[in-house]
């Protein structure tokens, strides 16, 4: 159990249970009911400050806790596979290449699906996971955030919205994946690659110059 | 008249008024689009008024030149004959649209984006103008990209009257485009996280700007999450004021701002290009 100094939020998230014929009803229930806990600080998600902590189970049932990842560089990638801006990055394999390149350098890449069922545009976790896998996601973890708790803690506004947290747990980048607000894959080549630049800089233990940009994409529906 | 093959018919998104065609596109974009031309005849070296007409499906909205939060500006890439040119698309005033927790500057229903084509000095014969239009249409559930190929064939010669109806629509569209008006003097004071506008009319007979709304053309200067409404200002004469929250992405020092003032009381929106003295 975690001891958090500030607010707790416990939410049920749906877990995709991989085929495990030996799972009893009780085990399935335990796997299904999980707690997402986050600490909401007054200045959530501010570059230069400690990134809001959270813990959740990923698609494989593995516990992911930001505070436990200290010592690693972490990327948070907000996704919606039906958003044309996300399709630009996944259809072209740009996102998967970034995931592959940086996880190979020891970065922990967390892809998050935030949204509320009530919004009518919600992608349920099973679909989110299936689509991510079909597209060859190379993320370290896929996290379903149906309550939107993690998204709200970071004020994730659109998809894609990218955050980089350095090895000390400080938010080093908050913003767009690149500089060209378009749905056209032809625009990838000429765009300034903010996320790659931020990651290269943080991995080299240097301060990020372009640390905050306006993210583009489809609204996250809380 | 053109003869259409079944596959060409399948590709048409909308039956046009005149000579222009629309080709089916990889992305539907929840809008019907077509290209209007004021004259099917051109004269070498002279401009021709034209417009891209968009009609968004009910429930969907498209975006202004500054889309605000989220969204994407409508753009066109022209494929023109040598020496021909096309001006940028012009945008009439938008409305503020809040979808979920994003505030944008948007259009609903029909909107005309006028522009000008200019024939090359040595233009002759039949010419084909082709453009690839791309846009984004969103509703509260999500966003859909749109692509369409717009084209029109023009002939050299004296003005044709066959496009009279389109001519009128295009002229009306131009009359709605924001225009500079030397009647107005503007100052912007950047303090306490907001931009404070003071607008002074050089004539006491000027139309009131009370209740008018300011829309920034420049992105990332003003936060779109609240409407910027003009109130009566202080001092002698016709003075008005407004304040707008700074965008969190605005630079430390704001030295210029291009914006428009929209009001039902004005014949057309005012275009203002403010520069810090």
Complex ipTM value: 0.87
In a domain, B148, yes or no: yes
The pLDDT value recorded for residue B39 is 96
Q: How many CA atoms lie within 13 A of A109 on its CB side?
A: 22
Predicted confidence at residue B24, as pLDDT, reads 56
Residue B276's pLDDT is what?
96
Do the Cβ atoms of B71 and A83 come closer than 8 Å?
Answer: no
Q: Which residue do the tokens 């569209």 mark? A: B173
Same domain, B18 and B119: yes
Q: Which residue, B135, B137, B139, is CA-closest to B150?
A: B135
Interface contact B220-A119, CB threshold 8 A: no
User: Any idea what the CATH number is for the domain that residue B171 is in?
Assistant: 2.60.40.1250
* Digitized pLDDT (tens) for each residue of chain B, 277 residues in all: 434 444 444 444 444 445 577 775 556 899 999 999 999 999 999 999 999 999 999 999 999 999 999 999 999 999 999 999 999 999 999 999 999 889 999 999 999 999 999 999 999 999 999 999 999 999 999 999 999 999 999 999 999 988 999 999 999 999 999 999 999 999 999 999 999 999 999 999 999 999 999 999 999 999 999 999 999 999 888 999 999 999 999 999 999 999 999 999 999 999 999 999 9
How close A154 comes to chain B (CA, Å)? 14
Q: How far is CA A165 from the centre of its chain?
A: 11
Return the closest-CA partner of residue B261 out of B214, B217, B229: B214
Domain match, B16 and B62 both: yes
CB proximity B134 to A under 8 Å = yes
- B159 and B39 in contact (C-beta within 8 Å)? yes
Q: For residue A80, give the DSSP letter.
A: -
- Shared-domain flag, residues B220 and B118: no
Q: Which residues of A touch B143 (CB under 8 A)?
A: 83-85, 218
Same domain, B18 and B115: yes
* Residue B200 sits in the same domain as residue B77: no
Q: φ, ψ for residue A163 (rounded to 5)?
A: -130, 140
Tell me which residue in B67, B102, B140 faces A157 most closely, judged by beta carbons: B102
Q: What is the pLDDT of residue A122?
A: 84
Instruction: For residues B109 and B106, give the distance between their C-alpha atoms in angstroms, rounded to a whole number.
Output: 10
Q: B166 and B87 share a domain?
A: yes
Is residue B143 included in any domain, yes or no?
A: yes
- Site from B25, B27, B72 to mutate, A interface, most A CB atoms within 10 angstroms: B72
Confidence at residue B27, expressed as pLDDT on a 0 to 100 scale: 64
- Written as tens digits, the pLDDT of chain A (222 aa) is 444 444 444 433 333 344 444 545 444 444 444 556 665 544 479 999 999 999 999 999 999 999 999 999 999 999 999 999 999 999 999 999 999 999 999 999 999 999 888 887 788 989 999 999 999 999 999 999 999 999 999 999 999 999 999 999 999 999 999 999 999 999 999 999 999 999 999 999 999 999 999 999 999 999
Of B154, B175, B196, the one marking the end of a domain is B175
| CA–centroid distance for A210 within its chain | 20
What pLDDT score does A35 carry?
Answer: 57
Interface residue A219 vs chain B (CB under 8 A): yes
pLDDT at A149: 94
What is the predicted pLDDT for the residue at B236?
84
Chain centroid offset of residue A131 CA: 15
Residue B1 resides in a domain? no
CB-CB under 8 Å, A219 with B134: no
The pLDDT of residue B28: 86
pLDDT attached to residue A37: 67
By DSSP bridging, strand B102-108 and strand B61-68 are antiparallel
Shared domain check, B228 and B107: no
- How many residues make up chain B in this entry? 277
* Token reading at B169: 């629509």
B143, B175, B207: which is the final residue of a domain? B175
Q: What Cα–Cα distance (Å) separates residue B153 from each residue in A210, A216, B42, B74?
A: 47, 37, 10, 23
My answer on whether B71 and B171 are in the same domain is yes
Q: Are A95 and A89 in contact (CB under 8 A)?
A: yes
pLDDT for residue B114 = 98
Strand partners, B133: B76, B148
Closest Cβ–Cβ partner in B99, B136, B220 for A214? B220
Q: Which two tokens stand for residue A132?
A: 């991510």
Distance CA A110, CA B48 (A): 53
Contacts of the segment A25-33: beta carbons below 8 A, 24+ positions apart = A31/A61
Nearest neighbour of B99 by CB, restricted to A183, A217, A219: A219
Q: Do residues B78 and B130 touch, judged by C-beta distance below 8 A?
A: yes
Both B135 and B27 in a single domain? yes
Residue B245 lies in a domain: yes
Domain around B67: 6-175
Asked if A121 lies within 8 A of B140 by C-beta distance, the reply is yes
pLDDT attached to residue A39: 56
In angstroms, the CA B183 to CA B241 distance is 16
- The answer on B56 and B69 residing in a single domain is yes
Residues of A in contact with B102 (CB under 8 A): 157-158, 219
- Inter-axis angle of helices A194-203 and A94-103, nearest 10: 0
Q: What is the pLDDT of residue B235?
A: 87
B106 and B210 in one domain?
Answer: no
Q: Of A7, A175, A144, A165, which is closest to residue A79 (Cα–Cα)?
A: A144
CATH number for position B253: 2.60.40
Contact at 8 Å (CB) between A83 and A218? Answer: yes
The domain boundary residue, chosen from B153, B175, B197: B175
**Statement: the pTM of the whole predicted model exceeds 0.80:** yes
- Which positions ≥6 away from B271 have C-beta within 8 Å? B178, B179, B180, B181, B258, B260
Asked if B160 reaches chain A (Cβ–Cβ under 8 Å), the answer is no
For A219, the closest of B27, B70, B247 (CB atoms) is: B70
Q: What is the strand order of the sheet B256-262 is part of?
A: B179-180, B270-275, B256-262, B213-216, B228-229
Judgement on whether residues B40 and B86 belong to the same structural domain of the protein? yes
What pLDDT, on the 0 to 100 scale, is given for residue A116?
85
Number of domains observed in the structure of chain B: 2
Query: For residue B194, is it within any domain?
Result: yes
What pLDDT score was predicted for residue B10?
A: 42
Looking at residue B1, its pLDDT comes to 41
**CA nearest to B75 within chain A:** A182
- A43: which residues sit within 8 A by CB, 6+ positions away? A49
């Amino acid at each position: 159990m975690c001891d958090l100094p500030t607010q707790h939020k416990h939410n049920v998230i749906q877990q995709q249970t991989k085929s495990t014929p030996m799972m009893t009803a009780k085990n399935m229930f335990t796997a299904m009911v999980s707690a997402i806990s986050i600490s909401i600080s007054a200045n959530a998600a501010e570059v230069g400050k400690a990134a809001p902590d959270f813990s959740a189970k990923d698609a494989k049932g593995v516990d992911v806790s930001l505070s436990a990842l200290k010592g690693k560089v972490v990327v948070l990638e907000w996704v919606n596979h039906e958003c044309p801006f996300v399709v630009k990055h996944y259809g072209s394999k740009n996102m998967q290449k970034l995931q592959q390149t940086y996880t190979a350098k020891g970065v922990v890449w967390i892809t998050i699906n935030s949204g509320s069922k009530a919004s009518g545009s919600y992608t349920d976790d099973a679909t989110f996971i299936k689509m991510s896998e079909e597209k060859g996601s190379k993320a370290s973890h896929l996290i379903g955030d149906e309550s939107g708790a993690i998204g709200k803690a970071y004020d994730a506004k659109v998809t894609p919205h990218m955050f980089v947290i350095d090895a000390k747990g400080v938010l080093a980048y908050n913003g767009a994946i690149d500089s060209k607000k378009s749905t056209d894959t032809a625009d990838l080549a000429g765009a300034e690659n903010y996320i790659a630049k931020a990651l290269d800089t943080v991995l080299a233990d240097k301060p990020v110059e372009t640390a905050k940009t306006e993210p583009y994409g489809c609204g996250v529906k809380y | 008249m053109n003869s259409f093959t079944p596959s060409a018919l399948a590709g048409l998104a909308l039956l046009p008024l005149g000579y222009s065609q629309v080709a089916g596109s990889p992305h539907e974009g929840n809008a019907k689009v077509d290209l209007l031309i004021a004259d099917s005849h051109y004269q070498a070296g002279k401009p021709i008024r034209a417009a891209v007409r968009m009609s968004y499906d009910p429930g969907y909205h498209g975006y202004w030149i500054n889309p605000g939060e989220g969204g994407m500006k409508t753009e066109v890439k022209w494929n023109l004959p040598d020496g021909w040119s096309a001006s940028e698309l012009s945008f009439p005033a938008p409305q503020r649209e809040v979808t979920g927790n994003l505030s944008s500057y948007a259009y609903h229903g029909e909107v005309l984006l006028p522009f000008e084509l200019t024939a090359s000095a040595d233009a002759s014969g039949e010419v084909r103008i082709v453009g690839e239009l791309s846009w984004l249409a969103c509703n509260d559930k999500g966003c859909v990209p749109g692509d369409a190929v717009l084209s029109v064939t023009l002939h050299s010669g004296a003005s044709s009257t066959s496009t009279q109806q389109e001519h009128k629509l295009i002229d009306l569209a131009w009359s709605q485009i924001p225009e500079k008006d030397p009647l107005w003097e503007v100052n912007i004071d950047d303090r306490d996280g907001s931009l404070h506008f003071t607008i002074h009319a050089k004539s006491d007979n000027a139309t009131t700007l009370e209740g008018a709304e300011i829309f920034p053309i420049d992105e990332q200067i003003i936060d779109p999450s609240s409407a910027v409404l003009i109130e009566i200002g202080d001092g002698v004469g016709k003075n008005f004021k407004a304040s707008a929250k700074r965008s969190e992405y605005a630079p430390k020092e704001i030295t210029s701002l291009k914006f428009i003032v929209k009001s039902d009381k004005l014949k057309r929106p005012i275009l203002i290009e403010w520069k810090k003295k």
